[in-house]
Amino acid sequence: MIKRFQVQENLHRFKNRSEAGKLLSCRLERYKNHHELLVLALPRGGVPVAFEIAQALQVILDVFLVRKLGVPGLEELAMGAVASGGLRMLQRDVLDAWHVSPSTIEAVTETELRELQRREQRYRGSRSAPEIRDHTIILVDDGLATGSTMRVAAAAMNRQRPKCLIAAVPVAAPEACSKLKAEVDEVICAEMPQTFSSVGSWYEDFSEVTDDEVRELLAKADHNIE
């Protein structure tokens, strides 16, 4: 299958994640009523975006747990990411540029794995993880800066052999999309500015999504599907 990404020329700054999700869902309409389709959000910021997509496509919403490994003191800058199951991906260029030591990498990884496990329990409770094998998966986040979080999610997802894996984000750095193309069948991005500073700069409201908000949106999505 040809891997590609779609870009909108007229750039748009989103009001919030909900608006971003509604706009992004327009680019995913062809998947509506698709057999064995599942929308998976990367918590926490990807959940409000994915909620709108799942509602528009009338499919199940769930989460896939990934944690960014931030450079100490510059936590917004990703030096890698970890996913459920312990898979880790490192950004070697970032590690080299900031001279991050192996011991620091391991310490940050251990901290983020503990947080990942905490969230897994809080969001899903006793509910089992979704079936991935032979399903079409739309993996959603609120944006890509380095893309490491989405790439480690895609790598972990591919181990479970989905039928088709689509990465969907409202906004992304062009380089991040280029790197991600190797991991998925398709990348769909609403906005791809040539000058990219941070994901948050493309939202008027980029306030932190809480655990309670994630749980509420997942519960609401389950109710709407019933």
Q: What is the pTM of this model?
A: 0.83
Would you say 23 and 99 are in contact if contact means Cβ atoms under 8 Å apart? no
How many angstroms separate the CA atoms of 95 and 75, rounded? 13
Looking at residues 70-88, what average pLDDT do you find?
87
In terms of residues, how long is the chain? 226
How many angstroms separate the CA atoms of 135 and 38, rounded? 7
Distance of CA 222 to the CA centre of its chain: 20
111-153 tens-digit pLDDT = 999 999 898 889 988 788 888 999 999 999 999 998 888 998 9
Would you say 52 and 22 are in contact if contact means Cβ atoms under 8 Å apart? yes
Q: List the domain boundaries for the chain.
A: 5-66+128-225
Looking at residues 176-203, what average pLDDT do you find?
92
> Dihedral of CA 155/160/164/170: which sign?
negative
Quickly name the fold that domain 5-66+128-225 has: Rossmann fold (3.40.50)
Q: What mean pLDDT value characterizes the chain?
A: 90
Structure tokens that stand for 212 in this block: 């309670």
Structure tokens that stand for 223 in this block: 């109710």
> Which pLDDT belongs to residue 161?
94
Would you say 160 and 154 are in contact if contact means Cβ atoms under 8 Å apart? no
Would you say 51 and 220 are in contact if contact means Cβ atoms under 8 Å apart? yes
Give the β-pairing of 5-8 and 164-171: unpaired
Looking at residues 34-56, what average pLDDT do you find?
95
> Which pLDDT belongs to residue 7?
43
> Which pLDDT belongs to residue 69?
92
Q: From 104, 208, 83, select the one nearest 149 (Cα to Cα).
A: 83
Across 115-210, the runs of DSSP E, i.e. the strands, are: 136-140, 164-171, 186-191
